[in-house]
Structure 1
């Protein structure tokens, strides 16, 4: 509420205010790194300062939310700073949005970003065998599909077993029938393809998983989405960390990564610990 009040006084959105007061001297930023032929095929890379550890820093490819219709990688300086300060390279990625594309055309964009990290992590001080994909809301859906449905990484010459893990925050993973009218056309309602749902792609090869949800989320039901997905993953023997957070909602769950909102929920601590403790992926395919 205090941030919202300050934002109104400053004439800007809360996320702009958070980014404006995020330090600039705790990371090295390389903007607009291309990973494909399209304008949306770009990442902003937030690199920790100092010398990388042996093998390189862990790398997280982050996919933004916005109902597959809005948002952009430029809004996540606060997240890049937060993870870089914990010794993690963040690649904040773009992807094509509706109405330019519908399902599944935005998924190859996210897969290309992950393939870039797998192939070029070393250029940014990262470890190509400790690459994870992470997303919030609609971005968590994209992250889940790239991590669980091997069609998308296979198109890029890679495999889901090359991922050290993945992180989903407040994501929709099991949402047929689609109730949000603004989202229905994105997934061809009423003919929503059953294979569009991440829960349909769980297997014993699925990478280790971190699922974070807000106890109160008016946009994405945490039980029918993250809860269902966690149960299916566990039934296949996949390691799952499932965290529920009080005191935050759908948006402030990701906002809690920022310095002003750290105290709302320990989501940064939990995600950073998950990323840092993941072992290297056992399979190395494709160029390095």
Structure 2
């Protein structure tokens, strides 16, 4: 009888677990997602045709829920190419994605594309609540050139200040293999070769500060990355720690090169979206 009773209790718990799981799945499946494309984020701030063409963003969001987090996502491409997209790894995860286009070199020169990134983030602060999102739960992220842009906007407060916003309101910065030194395209615009490192006001490293938002740096394998990309980020990490920043993290994805590292990095991004936005509740 004791054995049978234990058996029935176990069956009962299994049934309860099944019902809870099924309910959670139904709740998740009840969320539907919408995509609104090509929203101009600079308004009357620019008047040239190229800026109006490039300064647009897409908003992908869960339409029947509220107060969700948002990832503002910047594509890569060396600041000379690339197009906005909603990463498949971020779809149907209970969050919004704001995918941003920005002006590209050589049609635009530094710092136009950094200012574009700041304008897009400011737009998100001002408008994500219109879609149901919580403006205190915004994380900026991007790959390569996109990672560089989010680091610049998040570390150098002057860019968002020009658009009436405070970088310290960001819930976090998650940088996929971005330059920590001055970007190679900024250097190329000055006639400096890509093997000549520069650290000036257009380098995230120049703006290390104790009071920055939480910062997550992710790179590929140091032996497979572009030039010294891992080492740049390792030094960036060390200097942030040195100035007293208590929420900076560095990941090296062994076996993944500069392009391939983005796929596993999304897993890390989602982890920090959950971790960092819970702090703001």
The TM tier, using the shorter chain, reads: 0.7 to 0.9
- Separation in 2 of the partners of 1:188 and 1:26? 49
Residue equivalent to 2:82: 71
Q: How does 1:1-288 map to 2 (within 5 A)?
A: 27-37=33-43, 38-48=52-62, 50-52=64-66, 56-73=67-84, 76-77=85-86, 79=87, 81-174=88-181, 184-187=187-190, 189=192, 194-215=200-221, 216-235=223-242, 236-254=244-262, 256=263, 265=264, 267-279=265-277
Gaps of 5+ in 1: 1-24, 257-264, 283-288
Shift of 1:131: 0.9
Partners of 2:219 and 2:199 lie apart in 1 by: 25
- Measure how far apart 1:100 and its partner are: 1.2
Q: Does structure 1 retain, via aligned residues, the 8 Å contact 2:177–2:230? A: no
- SS of structure 2 residue aligned to 1:278: helix
Q: What are the Cα deviations for residues 73-130 of structure 1, in whole angstroms up to 9, with x where unaligned?
A: 0xx33x1x42232222110101100111121111110000000111111122211011
- Two-structure CA RMSD over aligned residues (Å): 2.4
> In 1, Cα distance between the equivalents of 2:62 and 2:228?
34
C-alpha distance in structure 1 between counterparts of 2:136 and 2:95, whole Å: 13
The structure with the largest alpha-carbon Rg is: 2
Q: How far apart, CA to CA, are the structure 1 residues paired with 2:100 and 2:62?
A: 18
d(CA) in 2 for partners of 1:240, 1:279: 16
Q: Residue 48 of structure 1 contacts residue 88 of structure 1 at CA under 8 Å; is this kept in 2?
A: yes
Equivalenced residues, count? 237
* 3-state SS, counterpart of residue 196 of structure 1: coil
Highest RCO, 1 vs 2 (Cα 8 Å, sep ≥ 6): 1
Q: CA deviation at 1:276?
A: 1.5
Q: Which moved more, 1:104-113 or 1:30-39?
A: 30-39
Structure 1: distance between partners of 2:279 and 2:154: 13
The gaps in structure 2 that reach 5 residues or longer are 1-30, 44-51
Change in Cα spacing, 1:85 to 1:241, as seen in structure 2 (3 Å) is: farther
TM-score by length of 2: 0.77
**What displacement does 1:281 show?**
8.1
**More helix as a share of residues:** 2
Q: Indicate the residue corresponding to 1:18 in structure 2.
A: none
